[in-house]
C-alpha cells in the first residue's frame, strides 16, 4: 500500500518561496520502532507513530517552526538527526547548533534544549557540526568539516547532563559522515 503525508516542503528564496524536494531532509525510526521522525531544517519537524507489524505510519504531528529563529537559506546547508538508544531524546544538528527534544513531552517542540553551539576557538578553520550517528556503544558521534569528532556521551539523559563534548576525537582525515550500522 502507499501512504501520503502532506509535508510542506518549501525553501525561502529571495523572490518568494519555491518548492524544494532535494536536500536537508532526514528521516529515522526510533530504536524501539514506535516513532518515525522526518526533519527538514526549512520546512519543519514531523513525528508519527509506526506500526512495525504492518509498516503503517499514523498520528502525524507537524512542528513547522521548531527552531527559532528560522534557519537562513543562504547559510544553512547541513542538518542531521539522531535518536537516543532509549528512544526518548531526539538530537538535531543544524550547522553550528545541537538541540535536544524530548519525544515523551506533550509538546515536543516546546521541550527543545540548546545543548551547545560549535566552539570554533579550538580549531583554526571555520567549521561546524555535520552528520550525527548513534553508534553501537550507545553514544552519538557528530562529524565536522575539521578532522575532529564530537560525542554525546550519555544521550539517554535529559538536557546538558547528556555530557556532550566537542572535539573529543582528533582524526587523521576529514569525516563527512559515518556508516549506518
Which of the two residues, 176 and 13, has the higher pLDDT score? 176
- Residue 72's CB is within 10 A of a number of other CB atoms, namely 12
Mean pLDDT for 97-113 is 92
**Rounded distance, CA 71 to CA 95, Å?**
9
Residue 146 has pLDDT above 70, yes or no: yes
Residue 21 has pLDDT above 50, yes or no: no
Whole-prediction pTM: 0.82
**Lookup: cell for 14:** 529571495
**Lookup: cell for 149:** 569528532
Of 20-24, 75-79, 108-112, minimum mean pLDDT range: 20-24
User: SS3 of 23, please?
Assistant: coil
Of 20-34, 48-62, 103-117, minimum mean pLDDT range: 20-34
Backbone torsions φ then ψ of 56, nearest 5 degrees: -85, 140
**Rounded distance, CA 42 to CA 66, Å?**
10
**Rounded distance, CA 95 to CA 17, Å?**
22
Preceding amide of 99 cis, omega within 30: no
Amino acid at each position: 500500500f502507499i501512504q501520503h503525508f502532506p509535508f510542506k516542503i518549501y525553501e525561502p528564496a529571495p523572490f518568494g518561496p519555491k518548492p524544494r524536494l532535494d536536500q536537508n531532509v532526514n528521516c529515522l525510526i526510533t530504536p524501539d520502532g514506535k516513532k518515525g521522525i522526518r526533519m527538514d531544517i526549512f520546512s519543519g519537524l514531523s513525528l508519527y507513530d509506526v506500526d512495525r507489524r504492518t509498516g503503517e505510519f499514523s498520528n502525524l504531528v507537524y512542528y513547522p517552526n521548531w527552531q527559532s529563529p528560522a534557519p537562513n537559506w543562504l547559510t544553512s546547508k547541513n542538518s542531521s538527526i539522531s535518536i537516543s538508544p532509549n528512544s526518548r531524546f531526539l538530537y538535531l544538528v543544524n550547522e553550528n547548533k545541537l538541540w535536544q527534544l524530548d519525544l515523551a513531552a506533550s509538546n515536543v517542540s516546546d521541550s527543545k534544549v540548546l545543548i551547545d553551539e560549535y566552539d570554533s576557538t579550538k580549531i583554526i578553520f571555520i567549521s561546524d557540526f555535520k552528520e550525527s550517528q548513534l553508534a553501537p556503544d550507545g553514544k552519538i558521534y557528530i562529524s565536522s568539516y575539521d578532522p575532529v569528532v564530537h560525542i554525546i556521551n550519555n544521550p539517554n539523559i535529559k538536557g546538558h547532563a547528556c555530557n556532550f563534548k566537542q572535539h573529543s576525537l582528533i582524526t587523521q582525515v576529514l569525516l563527512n559522515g559515518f556508516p549506518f550500522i
